[in-house]
Amino acid sequence: MKLQTDRTAYRFSLILLTLLGLTNLDAKMDDILASISNDMENFNQVATITKQNEKYQPYIISVFQGKELEKLGVSNLKGALELVPGIDMATDNFNNQTPIFRGSNSLAYGQTKLFIDNVVVNNLFFDAYSEYLGMPIEMIKRIEVVRGPGSKTNGVNAYAGSINVITYAEDFKGFESSDELVFKYGSYDYRMAGFLKTFKQDDLKVFIDFYYQQDDKKLPAGIDGYSQGSMSITGLYDNTGLAQTGDAPVWLKDYSLSVNLTYKDFTLKARALDHSQGSAYGINLSLPEHYDRLKLPSYYLDLGYDKNIDDYEVDIKAGVKYGSFDSKAKLAPDGLQFMDYEQYLNGGGITNVSFPNGIYGEHLAVQRTLYQSSYVKYNGIDRHVITTGYRLIKEETIDMVSKLSNWTTGDAALVDYTTRLPFFDKDAKRDIEIFSLQDEFQYSDDLSFIYGFNYEQTSYKDAGFEPRISMVYQQDPQNIYKAIYSRAHRNPSWQEMFTMNNAARVGSTDLEPEKVDAFEAAYIRKLSSDSYLQTNLFYLLNKNQIYNTATDPIYRNVLDTVIYGLEVEYKGNIFPVDTLYLNYSYVTGSSYVKSTGVRDNSLPNISHHLAKGYYIYNLYDNLSLSGVAKYVSSKDRVSTDTRNKVPAYATLDGTLSYKNLKYDYKLMLSVKNIFDAKVIYASPINTYVDDYVQERRNFIITLMKEF
């Protein structure tokens, strides 16, 4: 695309110069040439910032535009990610939802990193970002998804891939963002309101976005984990008769305010997200009460300085991020028979205790992350751009509260066990130091390389040296080839390291980082400026994958896996007034259980086939009809799980979109899962036997007004 544009600009310049000579405007030549140069510089800036040249980038990337996603009726970030090749969704008893890239560890969260305007927002407790998956699509300008660990060499390790959400804070000459109001209403009594606002004066620009949303969603849960022996001990306590059947409270309530400020070479990015959700399937696998809740707030402040000095570009950042795990819920049903857990953990033997009104609990763990990075980019060597720098991270728990019903008497009233029986290590800390070096080498006009490495040390287990090299060969503007090798890791989350005194999960500070070596190859055929066919192959060697189970709650490095497959992606059109997008993914492989030495030629909880696509037909300039289709194949269980396979499903969504050109407002009606398919996310063995059933047919109405 860039080459074609440069040729067009060159021809335009020749014609313009000829006209200038014929009309004797030599005196204005310098001004006009300066104008042409500025226009070209602006276009190149736009192409770089908006990744319009993503097909030439040295990684496997898919880009989705927010305005197009709105036309499709995609309601939030999760819905957008479900369109990406190779991505499936999973959840757990917290309803902590996460996208699974190419079949990577479906029971872990930090396999991928989520960036919002280039700020990492994964929480520290889970290393997840479930609280951001509900971010309304109207707040998002563009989504860039990189599959594979080769996406970052700037001190951020994206084990299986990275997601960069760009908001409408991105705003530059010729591509200004409009102010906007948005309102939504839908099934489950879903309500949302938000706005986007930009202020500009001289060198100062301030962008603000805000949204509020809530619903009252409940989903059928079947019989809970007590039927499988949760809180039962063979020969001592049998609480299986206390199993409940009902609906899981998965409601949500979000308040989010973001401020992005730019002044000359300085930036400030801040966001406060107050996220509350229902307790879903229960901390200890007992179906909770409707108003039991889990709060996962997220707050960050990121300060930046980016300055070009001759052949150097200096990029300095510092920031602070707060997050917490804040749960208030009924943890066990009425009539529970169990032991005095405090006495047992302190070596005092087993004393039977009856809990006639069940067990209640309040758990709070607040984490703070401080970080600082400095990078220098040098382009003074012909055909090379060298980047080097460091990133320092300090993570710590700054507050912890643990309250439970009385373990000694069985009384439901809460007792403060923060000191006596903490659920989490209140002194948890981790320091991380990362050094990075990268060279972008333009060998010729057709062939370029990027090679470099991260080197990481932590106050626990070091990740060490992680190289990356990629090659992009442009045979011509229509045919592009890529080859990539990269190594990355995932540090254990704080839940996996520091959870204690819990029957469902026990942390370990002896965990090794999960590691992956990835080999990728891609071919891209550009059919026109806005249509393409992309095919890529991948081969992943995963080591030290971390798991725990309902019967063995201690987190351990259990599994090594070999994963390989392909992804095919097409975007184009059938008629001049439509847009067609299709993709297909295939993944397979094998797993090796480290403790037993047993190799399994299947991948549990992984769909081997994913097919997705959408179609937009513009009936008129202001009226469009669209459809989104998804197919997810069945999933195998772990070898010890006797349940049938997780069933396949296919869904179809439809949206009618109307835009009033005179008054600049849009009205959309979307129906999700039109044919009411049963969508199921897999549950682990010995938990919820009927898995985690998702939404059936539902609708949403959206009204947007631009200013």
The three-state secondary structure class of 520 is: strand
Question: Do 94 and 34 share a structural domain?
Answer: no
User: In this model, does residue 597 exceed pLDDT 50?
Assistant: yes
Amino acid at 431: D
The Cα–Cα gap between 319 and 305 comes to 12
Question: Do 86 and 3 share a structural domain?
Answer: no
* pLDDT at residue 55 in the model: 75
The three-state secondary structure class of 132 is: helix
As a whole number of Å, the end-to-end CA separation of the chain is 32
The three-state secondary structure class of 253 is: strand
Tokens of 118: 């280039």
* pLDDT at residue 174 in the model: 62
Phi, psi (deg, nearest 5) at residue 279: -75, 5
User: Which of residues 613 and 559 earns the better pLDDT score?
Assistant: 613
Q: What is the rounded average pLDDT of the residues 616-621?
A: 95
Cβ atoms of residues 43 and 5 within 8 Å: yes
Question: Do 544 and 513 share a structural domain?
Answer: yes
Q: What is the rounded average pLDDT of the residues 147-156?
A: 70
The Cα–Cα gap between 122 and 128 comes to 5
Question: Do 57 and 40 share a structural domain?
Answer: no
Question: Do 320 and 308 share a structural domain?
Answer: yes
Question: Do 97 and 29 share a structural domain?
Answer: no
Question: Do 258 and 375 share a structural domain?
Answer: yes
Question: Do 122 and 23 share a structural domain?
Answer: no
Contacts of 143 (CB under 8 A, 6+ apart): 63, 64, 66, 69, 77, 80, 81, 163, 164, 165, 166
- For 112, 433, 454, 542, the CA distances from 463, given in Å and listed in that order, are 16, 10, 9, 14
Q: What is the rounded average pLDDT of the residues 175-183?
A: 87
Question: Do 393 and 353 share a structural domain?
Answer: yes
- For 556, 607, 631, the CA distances from 648, given in Å and listed in that order, are 30, 8, 8
The Cα–Cα gap between 142 and 146 comes to 13
- pLDDT tens track for 190-215: 999 999 999 999 999 999 999 999 99
Write a three-state SS string for 401-460: EEEEECCCCCCCCEEECCCCCCCECCCCEEEEEEEEEEEEEECCCCEEEEEEEEEEEECC
What's 491's DSSP letter? Answer: P
CATH number of the domain within which 271 lies: 2.40.170.20
The count of domains in the chain is 2
Question: Do 69 and 19 share a structural domain?
Answer: no
- pLDDT tens track for 63-122: 999 999 999 999 999 999 999 999 999 999 999 999 999 988 877 788 899 999 999 999
Q: Element (H or E) spanning 583, and its range?
A: strand 578-593
| Contacts of range 83-86, beta carbons closer than 8 Å, 24 or more positions apart | 83/581, 83/583, 83/612, 83/614, 83/628, 83/630, 84/145, 84/147, 84/583, 85/147, 85/567, 85/568, 85/569, 85/583, 85/584, 85/585, 85/610, 85/612, 86/147, 86/565, 86/567, 86/585, 86/587, 86/610
* pLDDT at residue 476 in the model: 92
Cβ atoms of residues 450 and 429 within 8 Å: no
How many residues in total does the chain contain?
707
User: Which of residues 85 and 553 earns the better pLDDT score?
Assistant: 85
Write a three-state SS string for 181-237: EEEEEECCCEEEEEEEEEEEECCEEEEEEEEEEECCCEEEEEECHHHHCCCCECCCE
- pLDDT tens track for 467-509: 999 999 999 989 999 999 999 999 999 999 999 988 788 999 9
- pLDDT tens track for 662-701: 999 999 999 999 999 999 999 999 999 999 999 999 999 9
- Mean of per-residue pLDDT scores for the chain: 90
Question: Do 378 and 271 share a structural domain?
Answer: yes
The confidence band for 151, taking pLDDT boundaries of 50, 70 and 90, is: low
Phi, psi (deg, nearest 5) at residue 34: -65, -40
Residue 65, number of CB atoms within 10 A of its CB: 13
The Cα–Cα gap between 76 and 130 comes to 12
Which residue is listed with tokens 């989350």? 493
* pLDDT at residue 153 in the model: 54
Tokens of 122: 């994964």
The domain of 29 spans 1-49
- Whole-model pTM over 0.85: yes
Cβ atoms of residues 61 and 146 within 8 Å: yes
User: In this model, does residue 11 exceed pLDDT 70?
Assistant: no
* pLDDT at residue 455 in the model: 93
- pLDDT tens track for 423-455: 999 999 999 999 999 999 999 999 999 999 999
User: In this model, does residue 34 exceed pLDDT 70?
Assistant: no
Amino acid at 129: Y
Question: Do 63 and 35 share a structural domain?
Answer: no
